[in-house]
Amino acid sequence: MEIVGRFFNQHSFTLFAATSIVVLAIVLFRDGIEAGDLFALGALSVGLLVAYIFLQPGPSSLSEVEHVEAQIGNGRPVLLEFQSPY
């Protein structure tokens, strides 16, 4: 069960995007395929692709432990944010 949860956690955007495209295609193509339907499906696909490219996490700006420890403290409050690359 943990493997299934990890899979959905790491691939949730991809699964959401694929489901959105399939649902929109089903709704639009019920009465036949028209140019406007293809345009809407293409716009959704391009929008999701752009969102995927811009929203994926990049490399950490602080990779060495010593640098992180040097940033923590010094008499000032520090907000620590931990992110997963998935």
Contacts of 37 (CB under 8 A, 6+ apart): 28, 29
Q: In angstroms, what is the C-alpha Rg of the chain?
A: 21
Residue 83: which pLDDT band, with cuts at 50, 70 and 90?
confident
pTM of the model: 0.64
Q: How far is CA 78 from CA 32, 45, 60, in A?
A: 57, 39, 17
Structure tokens, 54: 């811009």
Quote the distance between the C-alpha of residue 84 and its chain's center. 12
Residue 19: which pLDDT band, with cuts at 50, 70 and 90?
very high
